[in-house]
Structure 1
Amino acid sequence: MAVFVLDQQKTPLMPCSEKRARLLLERGRAVVVRLHPFTIRLKDRIGGETQPLHLSLDPGSKTTGIALARNLERIDLETVRERLTARRAFRRRRRSKNLRHRAPRCHNRTKPQGWLAPSLRHRLDTTLNWVNRLQRLAPITSLRQELVRFDTQALQNPEISGVEYQQGELAGYEAREYLLEKWHRTCAYCGATQVPLEIEHIQPKSRGGSDRVSNLTLACRTCNQRKGRQPIEDFLSNQPERLRRLQSQAKAPLRDAAAVNATRWALFERLKATGLPVSTGSGGQTKYNRQRLGIPKTHALDAACVGPLTALHRWNIPTLTLQATGRGRYQRTRLNRFGFPRGYLMREKRVHGFQTGDRVIAEMPTGKNAGIHVGRVAVRASGRFNIQTATNLVQGISHRHCRVVQRADGYGYSFTPIQTEEARQVG
């Protein structure tokens, strides 16, 4: 993988290979600035020649793919919808239960043009935050964005046209791409993966079924031919659990499509505000580039395939996955399985100079946890911490044996290898 390089004045230079970075560190010519993404700073150089680098983005509802050209590492960015949902549940409980009165604050607020809900603004702010970070780590010269539009009316009724748009539920996108995401690229009837999938009507058109996206699913050729024009209840009569799951998933809302629609232009305008030239590409162009070059589908590789592309080298390197973990919570208690408070959390964030989320190295000389442990720390008031390593959770580590290597910045980091088609078949 490539390593970000800064000069003596922290100006970004061209990234280098792992071997070269190791030699610079061993010879004392560089020091480590960050572990994730791995960045070094040269101690004996100011300035240098750079080459054009393109930062490409594949924005999504839950995960946004970010890729840097010129053999740099790719990044997956995951959002935190679950935490927003939990916070909303706590707020509703405070307002509905017999607690202190809290007057509603929504009646005296107006929504300006371009207003986004907090969950959508979180997606936008997190993506822009990492665009700005990468600009400080690499000499980026231009930006690319996949500007996808989900026509949710056409998703519900592919044959819609003309004035029917004024009478639909919402207001296109490739329906096949939407179905692939909705059904997780698996056959709805047998669960087969890594096989060619066909669009299938859950209730056959010969029995009154429509072309609405809620009546469409994906099936392998064998299941599609075996089902024929049977009603779904008859075809899956001996699999009631699969039938129930299929029917519930078919009615899933177009929440992800609406999230992408709401943020795509806001992200484009924010990218233009960086001062760098911004170009766009369509979802169909990204898919064409990926299939033409024989590249598997991931969020990061989709970002690398955005826009005009002739070749993509060394794409099968591990992906750095970022997950927004936050910098703390307002919750002052933990809950038991019935939802009642259990104990109280300490109000101080730092204990003996450590904070939950810091990446530390613990060197235990003796005891059952003897050895070297590297991972994220969870602090305790007693001074005996827990360390989450890549493989397990180590508990009861004294703060005296810990050393900080990177402070918590609100994100969790992990590496995900890219699996080729051959590797999947072997696995």
Structure 2
Amino acid sequence: MAVFVLSKNKKPLMPCSEKRARLLLSKKQAVVHKTYPFTIRLKKQTGNATQPLQLKIDPGSRYTGVALVMDLPTLMRALCLFELQHRGHQISEALTQRRAFRRRRRNQLRYRPARFDNRTRKDGWLPPSVQHRLDTTLALVQKLKRLCPVSAIVFERVKFDMQKMLNPDIQGVEYQQGTLFQYEVREYLLERHQRTCAYCAGESLDPILEVEHKHPRAQGGTNSIHNLVIACRTCNQAKGSLTLSEFLSTLKNTKLDKVRKVKITQILAGKVFRLKDAGAVNACRNQLGRDLASQQLPVSTGTGAQTKYNRMRYQLPKTHALDALMTGELTKPVEGWSRPTLVVKAMGRGCYQRTRLDQYGFPRGYLQRKKTYFGFQTGDLVISTVTKGKKQGIHVGRVAVRDSGYFNVQTKTGGVQGVSYKTCQIIQRNTGYHYYFNSKVAH
């Protein structure tokens, strides 16, 4: 991929090729400014002539593709391809666990009245897991603006039609009214399953029917109507927090379990939709457009159909980075799409939690209070040169610090434990992200 270049005063210049960067470094006309993405800084003052660069973005729930493109008169040349990996799902799971711990401590172990009337939300508030996607995308855009002279932004303002995804043939009044028109959720489910258990068809003779999640909430299931069924209490408790596949594997050859096997097999044979990611993209697409417009650059948008048409016209594989490259209107040939993609994985900067918790949500151990030990902190990119012993070799990766002075280094091939801090040298300080190339050619 292209190498970013900064002037002597740290102003962004046009990116150069890897060959030219090696030449400047060998002649000591430049120094390494940043390892990921690789950036050099010139020692002498030069001109500031630039060419138009476009930053193309394909936003997503788990991954966001970003492409830096040079807009030449006769063609579009891809300089860098990025794949930003979000951690919104981890944030959502952590908040769910914290909420469960607090509810148990408040209601079952020591009662305290709930407080919610005195808590307000600002206008435009988004859930933390969704806000994280906006923040990381905007942070990458701002970082690239500091490293190269971006002149325009193009992003795919995608919108997923949930009803069309579930039923492509829906139209007319049925599309306008929706699935639950004139129904409540429970009544709709009772009518859909003819007031019998979806798993045993009344074989258990349990008269109590409950709303049940096919894909359990404990494993990321949602309250979407298509994830809900009516089940008797016996089947609901037997399934618990298992998925349908896991529940099927636990069934035996009793008369009741034979009926359950048939019903569950029929449910699994149907098409399963996961709408959580589509909902996350729909929730933040408008705010992302407003945030990008605040960067004081011309912003244009494209559609998902336009991106798919461009990708099929050039016969490119479907990846997040190439989708970003194909975003918007393309009136010129595109080259450079075979460049390796730099994956930018959001890792976070640690957490405020200072204790480990037991199964009831009570502290069972305390975490270290300091972040820095012997000049290193967890997440720093280091190179460790071990000259003797079982760990002999050169290890490059993220470091996990210990107060004993013996660190763990996570490399591409695995972890190396118990490396002395004296053998470690900083390559790049922790920025909250982990970088690696997803192409073997890039290594």
Could you report, residue by residue, the CA deviation over 1:336-372 in whole angstroms, capped at 9, with x for unpaired residues?
8998866432111110110000001111122111222
TM-score by length of 2: 0.73
**Paired position in structure 2 for 1:94:** 102
Does structure 1 retain, via aligned residues, the 8 Å contact 2:101–2:360?
no
1:276 aligns with 2:297: yes
Matches within 5 A, 1:13-412: 13-70=13-70, 71-80=78-87, 81-97=89-105, 98=108, 104-169=114-179, 244=265, 247=268, 250-309=271-330, 310-334=332-356, 343-412=365-434
Q: % of aligned pairs identical?
A: 53
Does structure 2 retain, via aligned residues, the 8 Å contact 1:357–1:376?
yes
Does structure 2 retain, via aligned residues, the 8 Å contact 1:9–1:46?
no
Larger-gyration structure (1/2): 2
In 1, the alpha carbon distance for the partners of 2:391 and 2:334 equals 45
Secondary structure at the counterpart of residue 290 of structure 2: helix
TM-score by length of 1: 0.76
In 2, the alpha carbon distance for the partners of 1:140 and 1:32 equals 21
In 2, the alpha carbon distance for the partners of 1:170 and 1:412 equals 44
**Paired position in structure 2 for 1:222:** none
In 1, the alpha carbon distance for the partners of 2:266 and 2:420 equals 48
Residues 101 and 274 of structure 1, relative CA distance in 2, 3 Å threshold? farther
User: Which residue identity does 2:127 align to in structure 1?
Assistant: A
Residues 20 and 246 of structure 1, relative CA distance in 2, 3 Å threshold? farther
User: Which residue identity does 1:55 align to in structure 2?
Assistant: L
Residues 320 and 161 of structure 1, relative CA distance in 2, 3 Å threshold? same
Q: CA deviation at 1:109?
A: 3.1
Q: CA deviation at 1:249?
A: 8.0
In 1, the alpha carbon distance for the partners of 2:266 and 2:32 equals 50
Q: CA deviation at 1:33?
A: 1.1
User: Which residue identity does 1:400 align to in structure 2?
Assistant: K
User: Which residue identity does 1:328 align to in structure 2?
Assistant: G
Q: CA deviation at 1:140?
A: 0.4
Q: CA deviation at 1:156?
A: 3.3
Secondary structure at the counterpart of residue 51 of structure 2: coil
User: Which residue identity does 2:306 align to in structure 1?
Assistant: Q
In 2, the alpha carbon distance for the partners of 1:324 and 1:121 equals 14
